[in-house]
Amino acid sequence: MNLIKAIILGMVQGLTEFLPVSSSGHLVIFQRIFGIETTGVTFEVLLHFGTLLAVLWVFWPDFVNLLKFPRDAVQRRFLLMLILGCIPTALIGFLLGDFIESIFHSLPLTGVALLITGGFLKLLTLLPEGRKEISTMQPGDALWVGLLQGIAIIPGISRSGSTITAALWRGLDRATAVRYSFMLAAPVIFGATLLELKGLITGGLESALFWSYAAGTAAAFVAGILAIKIFIRLLQEQKFHYFAYYCWAVGTAVIIASLFF
């Protein structure tokens, strides 16, 4: 993989991780367009690490408050909700990780998953805004959102779209849903990155490939910051139905293309 393609894929990852159109699904599509064959999901995990840095950059004050082991009851509850939300995702990754990796580059499955994502986004526009804040959020809310985040491991299922839809379904207000969804992604991405980096350290990586991966990760970081800001604005303006139509169109095109190529 050359440097230019890595940067393009990094930008695609950063934008689509937080815009509700599935970053992993778009990586599958663009890798097929560029004719890139990768072994395992190392590159994808490193690009996700770039978006993790973007989340830390935007929500840094919130993470700092949590790491101080706050005495404030609301902050302690928020930390507990984040821990609970990670449990379903971790279980799904542990039990189905090998299966997910085996289907990761399936173009037909990606197309079908994009159609499902479009359904999530259309539902999101129909759900009334809830009134729950962190102080009134329940353990069941966290586990439900975490379950949807785990399912979003499948390429084509949008993590941000599915988790925010799940949060609104459980009655969270939009600001809380966005904050919880983005911050919940951080520990999961961090854990997956550590596991993948362990393999890189023991197995090694070619110098040229290393710089391509590093450039892609940096591009994902910058694009991720931009995407988060766009996402929050669009959610406030309730314009997510456009993304539903986009996912349906791309999903249909991908399915049709997979029949001929």
Sequential DSSP letters for 198-217: HHHHHH---HHHHHHHHHHH
pLDDT at 88: 92
Separation of alpha carbons 9 and 252, rounded Å? 22
Q: Is the pLDDT of residue 112 over 80?
A: yes
Q: Is the pLDDT of residue 218 over 90?
A: yes
203 Cβ contact partners less than 8 Å away, ≥ 6 residues apart: none
pLDDT at 235: 75
pLDDT at 95: 83
Instruction: Look up the pTM and report it.
Output: 0.81
Separation of alpha carbons 54 and 114, rounded Å? 24
Please give the structure tokens belonging to residue 146. Answer: 């975490």
Confidence at 69, pLDDT banded by 50, 70, 90: low
Q: What b/e sequence results for 84-115 when a residue is b if at least 16 CB atoms lie within 10 Å of its CB, and e otherwise? A: bbbebbbebbeeeeeebeeebbbbebbbbbbb
Q: Is the pLDDT of residue 118 over 80?
A: yes
130-172 confidence digits (pLDDT tens): 889 988 999 999 999 999 999 888 888 988 889 989 999 999 9
pLDDT at 138: 93
% pLDDT > 90, the chain: 30
Q: Is the pLDDT of residue 205 over 70?
A: no
Q: Is the pLDDT of residue 61 over 60?
A: yes
Q: Is the pLDDT of residue 71 over 80?
A: no
pLDDT at 4: 86
φ, ψ (nearest 5 deg) of residue 132: -70, 135
pLDDT at 41: 60
pLDDT at 147: 94
pLDDT at 214: 87
Could you tell me the sign of the dihedral formed by the alpha carbons of 150, 151, 156, 162, in that order?
Answer: negative
Separation of alpha carbons 142 and 187, rounded Å? 14
For the residues 83-92, what does the mean pLDDT come to? 91
* In the chain, where the domains are located: 3-260
10-55 confidence digits (pLDDT tens): 898 888 888 888 887 887 888 777 776 654 567 777 888 898 899 8
Distances (CA, A) of 243 to 78, 124, 213: 29, 11, 29
Confidence at 196, pLDDT banded by 50, 70, 90: low
